A and B are shown apart, each in its own frame.
Chain A
């Protein structure tokens, strides 16, 4: 069992006060996680002791920086079970990873008459890049709907996922419902009709043990900042044969083999997709985060979040007028989105902030999901390995106070 209080001591921000005299209760982890000191220190170390550009200089600092950066790639490949290190592309975040696939693989492989399949619970980052592509190519986007309790409704999947489907892109875990989707099953269904798969793993890789060689997905994307790592670094995994056939995304230094005034040829994988000086410190920081999470253990983290989520759902159910979004705890990760009758989520969040409690209010970058639920917005508390039951008790007390302020 995780000792969440001991873990909190690893995170400098969690020692801060939200307001003078009021401790911080951070329950906005689906938006971004906090960073342990070892992640911050690893980036400081790079800047203080061996800052240099990678893949270029023939001098000690550059070699050390290159070794750390490329070592990061290997460590991250191992963490997600990717056998081939060159299939790990460093990008800025999940959003950039999905745009990369839409703009390179998508442009080269999708034509008028083809279809793209998404789900209605996607984050905007897994909708808008496909809409841009669909508009350019004149292709249709279809959406797998969800049930009232936030599970994917796959009863009609065979009519949505057909031989016309070129790619099925979906999230492994919903950032609003918290639903953990049957990723492996969906990938197999897509492959059965010859479709490529892209898994938006922004919410799953930080919280669940992910094994790409078992999933057999074609592309998978996630962000460093939601998994105790820094902002500005994310990962695109792609199957090697797909990446090799894809045209480059951005042009510039580091992604070329040879440049002449008449044209250029491309570098080997993964550097073909990494134009310009990359986020070196962030890559190093992400590895420190991966090491940190691995030391705690992804299975333990998941078990802890299951426990906290179950505790929260039960404790919060006593709040007057509360309505939860999403499935029962067995099918969800550490995310609890909810509404309170007659109180706008913004107001909930504002009142909770006065008690030092940070939650998210709004549509959480999932407007289609909220439109389908006929909700303008929702409030969302999301947990991580450092969330403890006392913080949930404080959240419940805070929600009672929200009700009092609004005389509900």
Chain B
């Protein structure tokens, strides 16, 4: 039987992720996890004066699907404006992955997009929130 969702590119990206790390400083940083499976993704984005992505990095841990998705998504949004990011659809990301996923695995695939959009819409970084709680 063919291991169809684990096509070569997914495994390559799992082993050698693109844009892995954290931008510091960044214009926004956001992190979230998938409580069902413990996948965590943080995305940090730098914008130019016209709110266009000049650099983006991500870090985290999780399954091959969530990790490959984060690499593909960060690669795709370079050069896009904040508004274009807000418009970026789930279908576009699933097309980039190019695999058929079950209901449960779609959540893995879309975690990176959820994190990116939350950041783009100005959700406060949970790390910062935690720090301000301590003050």
Identity of the chain A residue whose Cβ is nearest the Cβ of B38 in the assembled complex: A376
- Which residues of A sit under 8 angstroms from B105, Cβ to Cβ? 346, 350
Q: B17 contacts the other chain (Cβ, under 8 Å)?
A: no
Q: B93 contacts the other chain (Cβ, under 8 Å)?
A: no
Q: A354 contacts the other chain (Cβ, under 8 Å)?
A: yes
The answer to whether B3 and A346 touch across the interface, beta carbons within 8 angstroms, is no
- Which residues of B sit under 8 angstroms from A367, Cβ to Cβ? 38
The answer to whether B36 and A362 touch across the interface, beta carbons within 8 angstroms, is yes
Which of B5, B6, B36, B63 has the most A CB atoms < 10 Å from its CB?
Answer: B63
- Which residues of A sit under 8 angstroms from B89, Cβ to Cβ? none
A354-B3 contact in complex given A346-B105, A347-B63, C-beta closer than 8 Å: yes
A residues whose Cβ falls under 8 Å from a Cβ of B: 22, 343-347, 350-351, 354-355, 361-363, 367, 370, 376-377, 401, 405-407
The answer to whether A362 and B11 touch across the interface, beta carbons within 8 angstroms, is no
Residue-wise, chain B 1-45 has the 8 Å CB interface mask toward A (1 for contact) of 101011000010011000000000000000000001111100000
The answer to whether A351 and B62 touch across the interface, beta carbons within 8 angstroms, is no
The answer to whether B61 and A351 touch across the interface, beta carbons within 8 angstroms, is no
Query: What's the minimum C-beta distance from B51 to chain A, rounded to whole angstroms?
Result: 34
Identity of the chain B residue whose Cβ is nearest the Cβ of A343 in the assembled complex: B64
The answer to whether B6 and A346 touch across the interface, beta carbons within 8 angstroms, is no
In the complex, chain B residues 55-73 whose Cβ is within 8 Å of any chain A Cβ = 61-65
A362 touches which of B14, B15, B38 (Cβ 8 Å)? B38
Identity of the chain A residue whose Cβ is nearest the Cβ of B40 in the assembled complex: A376
Tally of contacts, chain A with chain B, CB under 8 A = 54
The answer to whether B6 and A344 touch across the interface, beta carbons within 8 angstroms, is no
The answer to whether A350 and B5 touch across the interface, beta carbons within 8 angstroms, is yes
Q: B108 contacts the other chain (Cβ, under 8 Å)?
A: yes
- Which residues of A sit under 8 angstroms from B40, Cβ to Cβ? 376
- Which residues of B sit under 8 angstroms from A351, Cβ to Cβ? 3, 6
The answer to whether A347 and B6 touch across the interface, beta carbons within 8 angstroms, is yes
Once bound together, how far apart are the Cα atoms of A347 and B65, in whole Å?
A: 8
The answer to whether B6 and A370 touch across the interface, beta carbons within 8 angstroms, is no
Once bound together, how far apart are the Cα atoms of A363 and B62, in whole Å?
A: 12
A346-B65 contact in complex given A351-B6, A362-B38, A376-B40, C-beta closer than 8 Å: yes
Once bound together, how far apart are the Cα atoms of A362 and B107, in whole Å?
A: 14
A345-B63, A377-B38 known; 14 other A-B pairs, CB under 8 Å?
A344-B62, A346-B62, A347-B63, A350-B6, A350-B63, A354-B3, A362-B36, A362-B38, A367-B38, A376-B39, A376-B40, A401-B3, A405-B6, A405-B11
Identity of the chain B residue whose Cβ is nearest the Cβ of A342 in the assembled complex: B15
Query: What's the minimum C-beta distance from A170 to chain B, rounded to whole angstroms?
Result: 24
A344 touches which of B5, B15, B64 (Cβ 8 Å)? B64
Query: What's the minimum C-beta distance from B122 to chain A, rounded to whole angstroms?
Result: 28
The answer to whether B38 and A407 touch across the interface, beta carbons within 8 angstroms, is no
B63 touches which of A344, A370, A407 (Cβ 8 Å)? A344
The answer to whether B11 and A355 touch across the interface, beta carbons within 8 angstroms, is no
- Which residues of B sit under 8 angstroms from A355, Cβ to Cβ? 1
- Which residues of A sit under 8 angstroms from B61, Cβ to Cβ? 376
Identity of the chain B residue whose Cβ is nearest the Cβ of A21 in the assembled complex: B1
Which 10 pairs from chain A and chain B are nearest by CB? A376-B38, A344-B63, A346-B63, A377-B38, A405-B3, A347-B64, A405-B6, A362-B37, A347-B63, A354-B1
The answer to whether A346 and B1 touch across the interface, beta carbons within 8 angstroms, is no
Once bound together, how far apart are the Cα atoms of A354 and B102, in whole Å?
A: 12
Once bound together, how far apart are the Cα atoms of A379 and B87, in whole Å?
A: 36
Query: What's the minimum C-beta distance from B54 to chain A, rounded to whole angstroms?
Result: 31
Once bound together, how far apart are the Cα atoms of A300 and B40, in whole Å?
A: 43
25 A/B residue pairs, CB under 8 Å, sorted by A: A344-B62, A344-B63, A345-B37, A345-B63, A346-B39, A346-B62, A347-B6, A347-B64, A350-B6, A350-B63, A351-B3, A354-B1, A354-B3, A355-B1, A361-B37, A363-B37, A363-B38, A376-B39, A376-B40, A376-B62, A405-B6, A405-B11, A406-B6, A406-B14, A406-B64
- Which residues of A sit under 8 angstroms from B6, Cβ to Cβ? 347, 350-351, 405-406
Once bound together, how far apart are the Cα atoms of A354 and B105, in whole Å?
A: 14
- Which residues of B sit under 8 angstroms from A376, Cβ to Cβ? 37-40, 61-62
The answer to whether A346 and B11 touch across the interface, beta carbons within 8 angstroms, is no
Query: What's the minimum C-beta distance from B119 to chain A, rounded to whole angstroms?
Result: 22
Identity of the chain A residue whose Cβ is nearest the Cβ of B61 in the assembled complex: A376
